[in-house]
Chains A and B, each alone.
Chain A
Amino acid sequence: MSFDRMLLWLSAKGQGSWSQFRGAVEAFDLEPDVEDSSSTDTGSDLPIYQEARFTLQRLGHVEFYAAESENGWKVVPPTVAIHEPARAEGVLCGARLPVLLDRLAAASDLGMERSKIAGMPERILVRSASHEQLVARARELGFLVQRDAPASLLSALPSVRDRNSWHTSNMPETLGWFVHRFSIYPELQWIALPQADARRGSSGLFRFVAKHQRFYYVRWRGRTFSVPVQVGKYAVMRRRRDTLRYDSARRALSFPVSLRPPLLMERALVLCSGALPRIDAATRRLEYSRVDENVALLAGQLLHQEVR
């Protein structure tokens, strides 16, 4: 309920600053559901504001710190994201005001399924008799439409090793940073090392932490690039057999909790079902449901990992 009201507020405001978003999280009393397995044992020490932000980003409702929202957030236009090619079902993303939902509900040739899922706004699936009818009617009602959203998103993303998508940068030179290197062997872990060693390293993924700031850098052939942590991990990892697992019977794609896919890739996987991934406490893996095999294979290729 709180996430729904918060999304209404975000839709009404349109865009704002990060501090306004934090204030809204406080005002709408967003709290992680302790009983929901998706929010426990994540190993995350992020405060609730970041958790709320990532939830909305992964679901494709709001963009943060992107173009035209560099210092805050901006809500995505109301869009019907169709899961699969030629399917007549899509998930509603982006802004949602009562007038829009009323319009959708009043359309007799469109069906709406609303599901309350803990830890996220209400999932709204839109259905029609045929794919083309869904596309046409949604556009008539003022919604944008994205066909085959998961595959389209993945097709537009660069692979994690595409250096054109990395930002050339410099490591901090001031003292006082806690520096760690991402080690692959014998197991995936962060190993502390002196700050000077990071700059001297010829390759690898490094993490710089000071107070509440964290920066991640990839060193490659003596050059330094600033990357998101998920991209960096997969960029330096070799191809491993057991990282990505795909269950074709259940159409579920899973990742280790510590190797979450990059944000936009995760958004593509979330759009397959319209729901956030589930955490399997026993295997410590994130599981995305209703993922088609070609989507799983695309994800594997972008991450340079074998899909088992």
Chain B
Amino acid sequence: MSSRRWTERRGTSLVVETLLLIAGMGLAFATAIVGVVVRARRRRTETEARVAAEREARRRAAELAQRRAEEEARAAGARERQAEEEARRAEEEARIATEREARRRAAELAQRRAEEEARAAGERERQAEEEARRAEEEARIATEREAQRHAAEEAQRRAEEEARAAGERERQAEEEARRAEEEARIATEREAQRHAAKEAQRRAEEEARAAGEWERQAEEEARRAEEEARITTEREAQRRAVEEAKRRAEEGARTAAERERKAEEEARRAKEGARIAAEREAQRREAEEAQRRAPQYRPPTGGFSVPRQPPPTATRNGPRPGGDEAAATTRALAIEVRALFDRGGCCRVTLLPKRRAGSPEECAATSINGGGLELVALEEEWYQDVAPEDLGALLRAGTVWASQDTGQEWTLAGREVFVLAGGTTHRGFVSCPRLTLGREHIVLCASTRLAQVEGALQEAGCTNRSVFREEDGAPSGWVLIGDADSARRPQGLVPTSAVPMEEGSDILNVLRPLPEIEISLEGGVPLGYSSWLAGFPPLIRVLGDAQHLEQVLIDGNEATIGEGGGFRAPGWDAPGTHQVWCSNVSRSYSLHHLEQSWHPWPAYVFPPASGSGDRMAICGPLVRPLAAENVLADATSSFEGGNLLQSNPILLGAVPGQVFIATPRRDVRGAQCFACPPFDAVWALPAQPLLCDKLTNRVLLVARPGGGTAPDSSATAGPVSQWCRLILDASRKGLSVEPEAGRVLWTQYKRFARSLWRRIR
């Protein structure tokens, strides 16, 4: 029982256990499910929370980013605005600068125009003054002529009056003659009547007196004859009276004409006298002016050491109004004397006027000695030589030249001795203040001073002298004293001894050299401003009295006399700056290496003679096609084929499409043809490969050695079909290849062209 109960109990508990187990399992399952669900929910919740958090974070990040983007956009906008602001400011400034520039240019232009107008106004004023002077002169001449004309008219009037009076007298004489004739006629008629009456009476008487009236007839005839003679005499007297009256009238007219002629003669003499008087007056004024203006040289005075006397530069008329600038502009410039020798020993003495910087290249000047002259610029500071005809007189008296256009004056002080020095900036010898020890000189002196000058030169150590006279080219009345080498070639005198000057103003003091020291830098290749080209340094000489000569130092090193007579010291000719010192006198010079670079430029440009093709440019010996405006084609890019382009003008490159057709010149046989193809040419073909004569024409290989010559299949350039066609035409024609070694390459090109042609068809 217990076992059955146990078994029943066990069965029941088993069921219960099973149920419990099942319940438990179910519960477990449920729990697990709940747990899972809860977990899942929790997980989901967490996930959602996480997602939400992430979303939130993303949202925040996005907001942040957006905020940042907005800020950056704001900042960018601000920067942009700033940039625009700055650009606007820059534009504004540029505009302001442009406006300023434009205003400045306008101001300059206006100023230039104003200056031009002022110059033109000045010119017009000068012309007006000139015209006014001319008008006054003409008026004066007209007044004189008028006065002369009046005088002549007066004389003529007087002559006419006298002629009229003579005519009147003649008329009166004729009248009297006529009256006399009339009276004579009347008298004759009366006489005739009387005679008739008498005749009648006589006849009557004769009739009355019949006989022996022969005597009475004879007497009557004699009486008649006497009467006729008397009448004839009276008539003769009347005729003579008439002739006398006529003669008197003619005489009166002749006298009147004579008087008129005398009046004209007197008027002419008066005019001549007035002209001579005016000329004399003008000459007198000119002479006075010349005496007043032509400066005379003031020789240096002796007694104590004086600095070199500067040449007279100030005009005697005093400073002109306008301040220092106007005075500087119009201060008289010096006229130097220059002597040039040729190798034959002949010399030429000329005047060399100075030129102020900025003055015109040409200007007309007038001389107080009479006449005008043209000054033409030689260089910046000098005009070209002037050779007046009366140079001899002019040197003695001095002269002043004046330019009316510029107001500039030039003066040459008259004297009898000129000292000229060589080794200056000009050829030959140019006048200088005095002799300098060690320097070459020529002395130009009046012939009358020759002995004195030679004496002074002897004292100065110029012992070997040659005199060049008028037949050697010296001016009239003057001689040149210099030296000559063994071949009679002229050279300068070199004074070697200092000579004390004489007291007072003695012209010969200029021939007495001072003992002062001077460092001279000569020769070499000067570059200006005490600079010389390295490799061509100056010849360093120290001029002066040897007794006063101390040690010569160059850059502190003792210098000695080297080749050519110049001083040298270690490093004296090295590039850089150097200083020469001697007896408290110093001078510096510098030597420069120049590594210049030069570029060719189109100095001359000619259009192609054939009418087409590149323009040709020339620079020195260079001939190049003009690649661009003002740029020559590079030699490596231009085709230097010599004459082959005449026969083979078509150039082909390695790249399909590289075709260049040169245009040979047709107007000149044998001329070279120039080409500048934009590629490296490989082949040169005849102009028409299919039509040319294959016996005389060739395909020429013209590639540069080392250049790529194989056909380039990787690229094309330009007319590919033309490139192919030309190669195939030449091949079809059967043109041979020159040089022979190019045949293989030509074959490559043919094959390539054929395959390319097929592809592109």
Contacts and interface: CB of A to CB of B under 8 A. Distances in A.
Interface of A: 5, 8-9, 11-14, 19-20, 22-23, 25-27, 29-31, 33-35, 47, 60-61, 63, 66-69, 74-79, 81, 85, 93-95, 97-99, 132, 139, 144-149, 151-159, 162, 164-165, 211-212, 264, 267, 271, 294, 297-298, 301-302
Those 6 A-B pairs whose CB atoms lie nearest each other, nearest first: A76-B620, A77-B598, A23-B379, A81-B621, A66-B603, A155-B672
A66 to B, nearest CB: 4
A302 B668 contact: yes
Contacts of A151: 671-672
Nearest to A21: B379
Contact of A77 (B534, B620, B630): B620
Contacts of A264: 604, 618
A254 B602 CA distance: 30
A77 B374 contact: no
Most buried by A among B384, B598, B603, B670: B598
Contact of B342 (A34, A74, A94, A162): A34
A22 B381 CA distance: 11
Given A12-B533, A26-B425, A67-B604, A146 B379 contact: no
Contacts of A267: 621
A269 to B, nearest CB: 12
Nearest to A302: B668
Contacts of A211: 374
Interface of B: 342-344, 374, 376-380, 384, 425-427, 524-527, 533-536, 593-596, 598-607, 609, 616, 618-623, 630, 635, 640, 642, 665, 667-674, 705
Contacts of B603: 63, 66-69, 74
A156 B616 contact: yes
Contacts of A63: 603, 619-620
B49 to A, nearest CB: 83
A223 to B, nearest CB: 18
17 contacts: A5-B524, A5-B525, A8-B536, A19-B380, A26-B425, A34-B342, A66-B604, A67-B630, A76-B619, A79-B620, A144-B622, A146-B623, A152-B623, A154-B671, A155-B623, A159-B609, A165-B607
A68 B642 CA distance: 29
Nearest to B601: A68
Given A85-B642, A152-B672, A212 B376 contact: yes
A95 B619 CA distance: 12
B245 to A, nearest CB: 62
Given A67-B630, A97-B533, A267-B621, 11 more contacts: A8-B536, A12-B533, A23-B425, A26-B426, A33-B343, A35-B343, A85-B642, A95-B598, A144-B600, A149-B623, A211-B374
A264 B380 CA distance: 30
A8 B670 contact: no
Contact of A146 (B344, B595, B622, B671): B622
Given A34-B344, A85-B642, A97 B379 contact: no
A67 B601 contact: yes
Contact of A159 (B425, B596, B668): B668
Contacts, number: 173
A31 B642 CA distance: 40
B607 to A, nearest CB: 6
Contacts of B379: 19-20, 22-23, 26
A25 B425 CA distance: 10
B398 to A, nearest CB: 26
Nearest to A86: B642
Nearest to A90: B621
A79 B619 CA distance: 10
B606 A165 contact: yes
A155 B668 contact: yes
Given A9-B525, A14-B596, A26-B379, A155 B665 contact: yes
B674 A8 contact: no
Contacts of A34: 342-344
Contact of A29 (B427, B535, B609, B673): B427
Contacts of A165: 606-607
B536 A155 contact: no
Contacts of B533: 8-9, 12, 97-98
A158 B611 CA distance: 11
B622 A27 contact: no
B605 A31 contact: no
A102 to B, nearest CB: 9
B425 A77 contact: no
A149 B673 CA distance: 13
Contacts of A31: 342, 427
A19 B601 contact: no
Given A8-B536, A23-B425, A301 B669 contact: yes
B595 A23 contact: no
Given A9-B533, A68-B601, A159-B609, A294 B670 contact: yes
A12 B342 contact: no
B642 A94 contact: no
Contacts of A60: 620-621
Contacts of B426: 26-27
Q: Which of A23, A27, A33, A146 gathers the greatest number of chain B CB atoms within 10 Å? A: A146
Given A157-B606, A159-B667, A26 B427 contact: yes
Given A22-B378, A27-B425, A297-B670, A67 B602 contact: yes
Contacts of B594: 12, 97, 99
A60 B600 CA distance: 12
B57 to A, nearest CB: 72
Contact of A155 (B380, B527, B602, B671): B671
A119 to B, nearest CB: 13
Contacts of A155: 623, 665, 668, 671-674
B88 to A, nearest CB: 41
Nearest to A95: B598
A43 B129 CA distance: 46
Centre residue among A20, A25, A66 by max chain B CB count within 10 A: A66
A99 B594 CA distance: 8
A158 B609 contact: yes
A19 B342 CA distance: 24
B596 A97 contact: yes
Contacts of B622: 76-77, 79, 144, 146
Nearest to B341: A31
Contacts of B536: 5, 8, 98
A47 to B, nearest CB: 8
A213 B626 CA distance: 33
Contacts of A146: 621-623
Nearest to A6: B525
A220 to B, nearest CB: 18
Contacts of B635: 139, 144-145
B380 A75 contact: no
A8 B425 CA distance: 17
B641 to A, nearest CB: 10
A156 B606 contact: yes
B722 to A, nearest CB: 28
Contacts of A8: 525, 533, 536
A19 B620 contact: no
A229 B312 CA distance: 46
Given A26-B427, A67-B604, A156-B674, A12 B621 contact: no
A125 B379 CA distance: 34
A68 B616 CA distance: 16
Contacts of A12: 525, 527, 533, 594, 596
B621 A149 contact: yes
Contacts of B534: 98
B609 A78 contact: no
A76 B598 CA distance: 7
Contacts of A152: 623, 672, 674
A46 to B, nearest CB: 13
A19 B377 CA distance: 8
B360 to A, nearest CB: 12
B526 A99 contact: no
Contacts of A27: 425-426, 526
